[in-house]
Protein backbone atom coordinates (compact mmCIF):
# COMPACT_ATOMS: atom_id res chain seq x y z
CA UNK A 1 0.00 0.00 0.00
CA UNK A 2 1.36 3.40 -0.87
CA UNK A 3 -0.42 5.30 1.93
CA UNK A 4 1.58 6.77 4.77
CA UNK A 5 0.48 7.80 8.24
CA UNK A 6 0.16 11.37 6.93
CA UNK A 7 -2.49 10.20 4.45
CA UNK A 8 -4.86 9.12 7.24
CA UNK A 9 -7.75 11.33 8.29
CA UNK A 10 -10.57 11.19 10.82
CA UNK A 11 -13.54 9.32 9.40
CA UNK A 12 -11.48 7.46 6.79
CA UNK A 13 -13.04 4.18 5.76
CA UNK A 14 -11.41 1.03 4.43
CA UNK A 15 -13.29 -2.15 3.62
CA UNK A 16 -12.99 -5.54 2.03
CA UNK A 17 -15.10 -8.61 1.44
CA UNK A 18 -14.19 -12.25 1.89
CA UNK A 19 -16.10 -15.50 1.73
CA UNK A 20 -14.95 -18.13 4.21
CA UNK A 21 -15.25 -21.77 3.21
CA UNK A 22 -15.45 -25.02 5.13
CA UNK A 23 -11.67 -25.46 4.94
CA UNK A 24 -11.10 -22.03 6.56
CA UNK A 25 -13.44 -22.96 9.41
CA UNK A 26 -11.76 -26.35 9.92
CA UNK A 27 -8.32 -24.71 10.10
CA UNK A 28 -9.62 -22.21 12.65
CA UNK A 29 -11.20 -25.03 14.67
CA UNK A 30 -7.88 -26.89 14.71
CA UNK A 31 -5.91 -23.83 15.82
CA UNK A 32 -8.33 -22.78 18.55
CA UNK A 33 -9.61 -26.24 19.53
CA UNK A 34 -13.14 -24.81 19.28
CA UNK A 35 -15.18 -27.63 17.78
CA UNK A 36 -18.61 -26.19 18.48
CA UNK A 37 -21.24 -27.96 16.34
CA UNK A 38 -22.60 -24.56 15.28
CA UNK A 39 -19.61 -24.23 12.92
CA UNK A 40 -19.88 -27.70 11.41
CA UNK A 41 -21.59 -28.25 8.05
CA UNK A 42 -22.66 -31.80 8.91
CA UNK A 43 -24.19 -30.99 12.30
CA UNK A 44 -27.73 -29.89 13.13
CA UNK A 45 -26.86 -27.29 15.79
CA UNK A 46 -26.97 -24.24 13.52
CA UNK A 47 -30.07 -25.19 11.51
CA UNK A 48 -32.66 -23.85 13.96
CA UNK A 49 -31.35 -20.27 13.74
CA UNK A 50 -29.36 -19.98 10.52
CA UNK A 51 -29.63 -20.93 6.87
CA UNK A 52 -25.93 -21.90 6.77
CA UNK A 53 -23.27 -22.80 9.32
CA UNK A 54 -21.68 -19.72 10.84
CA UNK A 55 -17.96 -18.97 11.02
CA UNK A 56 -16.09 -18.48 14.29
CA UNK A 57 -15.87 -14.86 15.40
CA UNK A 58 -12.09 -15.17 15.35
CA UNK A 59 -12.16 -15.44 11.55
CA UNK A 60 -14.22 -12.29 11.14
CA UNK A 61 -12.03 -10.51 13.67
CA UNK A 62 -9.01 -11.37 11.54
CA UNK A 63 -10.51 -9.32 8.71
CA UNK A 64 -9.87 -6.17 10.74
CA UNK A 65 -6.16 -6.91 10.82
CA UNK A 66 -6.22 -7.71 7.11
CA UNK A 67 -7.92 -4.41 6.25
CA UNK A 68 -5.41 -2.47 8.35
CA UNK A 69 -2.42 -4.21 6.78
CA UNK A 70 -3.68 -4.21 3.17
CA UNK A 71 -5.80 -1.06 2.83
CA UNK A 72 -4.12 1.31 5.29
CA UNK A 73 -0.49 1.94 6.22
CA UNK A 74 -0.57 -1.10 8.48
CA UNK A 75 2.96 -0.95 9.82
CA UNK A 76 2.22 2.52 11.20
CA UNK A 77 -1.12 1.58 12.76
CA UNK A 78 -2.02 -0.22 15.93
CA UNK A 79 -5.50 -1.07 17.18
CA UNK A 80 -5.90 0.31 20.70
CA UNK A 81 -9.61 -0.27 21.10
CA UNK A 82 -11.92 -2.50 19.16
CA UNK A 83 -15.65 -3.00 19.63
CA UNK A 84 -17.35 -5.91 17.94
CA UNK A 85 -20.91 -7.10 18.08
CA UNK A 86 -21.66 -10.77 17.49
CA UNK A 87 -25.30 -11.47 16.78
CA UNK A 88 -27.17 -14.74 16.94
CA UNK A 89 -29.52 -13.36 14.30
CA UNK A 90 -29.49 -10.34 12.03
CA UNK A 91 -28.24 -7.27 13.94
The predicted-structure confidence for 15-59, as pLDDT tens digits, reads as follows: 888 899 999 999 999 999 998 888 888 778 888 888 888 899 888
pLDDT at 1 over 80: no
pLDDT of residue 24: 95
Q: What is the DSSP code string of the chain?
A: ----GGG--TT----------HHHHHHHHHHHT---GGG-TT-STTTTT-SSPPPPHHHHHHHHHHHHHHHS-GGG-----------SS--
Amino acid sequence: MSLTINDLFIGQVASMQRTFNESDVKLCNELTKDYSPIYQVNKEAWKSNFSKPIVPGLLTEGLITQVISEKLPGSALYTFTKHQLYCARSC
